[in-house]
Each structure stands twice: as structure tokens, then as C-alpha cells.
Amino acid sequence: MHIYSHPLCQQHLVPDGHPEHPKRLEAVLNHLRECGIAQDSPIREASFAGQEDIARAHSLTHIKFVQSILPSTDTPVPIDPDTWASAQSFAAASHAAGAVLDGVTDLLAGTTQRVFCAVRPPGHHAEQKSAMGFCLFNSIAIGALNALANPQIHKVAIVDFDVHHGNGTVDIFKDNPDVLVCSTFQHPHYPNRMFDVQRNNIINTPLNEGDGSTEFRRQIEADWLPALEQHKPDVIFVSAGFDAHRDDPLAQINLLAADYDWVTRLIVDCAIQFSQGRVLSTLEGGYNLEALCESVEAHLGALR
């Protein structure tokens, strides 16, 4: 397994009290070292995604907007009430996307079958023309589209178990039948958009507040497995948000680390069946540091 990150991902600054703060990533990276995962899979420094790569998923207007809003100091400025930018935010988001691109390169070269990108800011709320929900660029979408640009890749799947719906990923791929998007999420809940898109390649699986492990697992088996079997992706991408954990402050689905182990094993089994074992996962949400670290460890234990 290859793990990617970059120091600048911790230089994307937000106001005091904001849940998506740099210590999230610091805690994850420290935990990977402490639990031994980083010894087995040393953390690699991610590349910088260029404009051409980002523009596969986002309009040039949006890319230039993110560049233009950057302050000259480390004091963050708001894009919307949830989403902020500081002096290094464009670089951080570009390295977050670059980590996914590096992972795609590794998977297609056959140097590994599994990749995890320990990066921030997250990406799955970023739509083609807008930043929102803590997200500036949709890293997983950028990676998926760059994979599809390779002649050996014909179809991909993106599975998203963050507690918040991946509206940005749906926005970017709703009219692209080569990309299957499967998303579980608490509903009604933020962002309350794109959850009702009806396309053959969009599998929206809303969960009720308090549903917990049993319903999460039942719905994934009922919705994701038939869709993945029909689509037969060449690569499976994962938007790995861990904010459905019962200790997370932003939602109420009440999962445990064991559920992330379970869903990751299901994804890996599908990848072995359809995708030559190729799975690329990138960090999205998760805002209780202890629960986040425990869940990431469970995810990577199953991913390996």
C-alpha cells in the first residue's frame, strides 16, 4: 500500500473553532506512525496537481477564483460560512489532488494495488463551478477523470461513506456513465443538494439519523453491490469520510470503527473481483480526533 500526504496540507488554515482544522491531519499522520502502518508503508510526499489536471473536473473560472481569493497573510477569509481560504490553501488543495493523481499513476503502473491519501482540505462537496462544505477542489473526481484519460481504463467507480452526501462528485459525474457514484449519507442533513439526482450511474443511499451499523451495512449490500457488479469498474475510488462515527460531533449515524473495517473489506473484495484489486482512498470528513484515528487505522488495516 502507498500512502501520500504533503506538509502544505496542514497549512490550509481555518478560523479557531472550525471543525476541519490542521490538527485533524496531524493526528492521523502521528497515529499512522504510532500504530506501525507508516513503518510498513512509508508516507510519500504528494505532487502538485497542475491546472490542466484540475480542469478535468472544475471550470477555469472556479480555479482562478480559488487563486484570487487567497489572502496575503495567514488570516483565513470566508468563501461561504463553512468554507475558508488562507495563504497556502490553493497549494494545499493542489497537493491533495496531486496525492490522488500520484496514486492513480502507481495503480496503473502496477507498483501497488492500494493507495491512501492522507490529505486536506477534503474534496467531495466541491462542485464543478463552486467550493463549499470545507472543500476547494474535488480531489477524487480529479483522480477519476485522469484515470479515465488512460486508454487502459474504461470505467471507474467512486464509493463515498462520508456522513455528508458527496454532492460535488454527483454534480461532476451525473452525466458521465463511465463513472458509477455510490454514496451513503445522513438525510436530511448538510448539504441538502444533489441527493435526489436520478441517473443509472448515481446510487444515492440516504440513512436516517440514528440508523447505526445494521442499517448502514444492509443498505450498502442492497444498493452498492448490485451496482458495482453491473458496472465492473477498472478502478474503485473511495471518498473516505469517518464522520458517521458515533462520537463525531457533526452527525448522528452512530457507526463504529468495525463498520469501516467491514465496508473497506467489501470494497476490496469488489476490487479483486472487478478491478484487478485497484483501490484508491482519500480522506474526507471525521472531526473527533480519537474516533478519526481509530477509524482510519481500521480502514487501512482492511485496505492492505
Q: Is 95 part of the annotated catalytic residue set?
A: no
Q: Which of 124, 125, 165, 189 is catalytic?
A: 125
| Inter-residue contact 93 to 66 (CB < 8 Å) | yes
Question: From CA 128, how far away is CA 58, in angstroms rounded?
Answer: 4
**Nearest to 11, CA basis, from 94, 74, 71, 72:** 74
Active site residues: 125
